[in-house]
Structure 1
């Protein structure tokens, strides 16, 4: 999921919970609307860390771009590396883990990451030797 949460940072906290009292599609539309992209799938806003990595790679003469996950299929077959940033991959951080304990349901942030990694184009990329590098505020979760 790539979103700017309607420009309201605290709305993003809704993505740390499972949908409550409404269907998931509505929950996501409220908390994590799809970001505007160009025809290539490059978002008009992206996490600062991803943009810094993109800029450094471009400065080094390496073809790189931040691409919205919904547009990965356009680019993944040409990729050698897929870098992914996430704020809470496995819902181990607060408040995601608290919502999971309270409701017994998987928060949408972890669910969206799992769905991304299960997509056919990601599986195909892994079979074809694309290296996946994870980072961001939740990189520590890969240690557990």
Structure 2
């Protein structure tokens, strides 16, 4: 009877699936595919730079000038700045480059007392979200 060819045992576990590759020396390498990425909670939350500058307009109305990107990492600071300003408030968003849903949520909570100055860059998000229907927004038609 002839000897059957020897079979190689492959280890099971990470590095042994379809994405595992062996190099010429027989070392296994596991490649992470698009379905094998880290979970979001494993990533460090980075705070996006946001500058908030309170001032008074010539008519005496409070103004908050916002510069940077408004996202979930810094909306607490924006909310605090709005909430600690008494009376009506003008939010100058002309230097805001990005506004996500967390930022919109803060603005929606204060539509009864804010006016917004923005450029056409933010026009789509302010109009599609319905925020433009609930508060006064100036400057959307300028480039």
Structure 1 length-normalised TM: 0.30
Kindly indicate which of the two structures has a greater share of residues assigned to helix.
1
Answer 1 or 2: higher relative contact order, Cα 8 Å, separation at least 6: 1
Rg: which structure is higher? 2
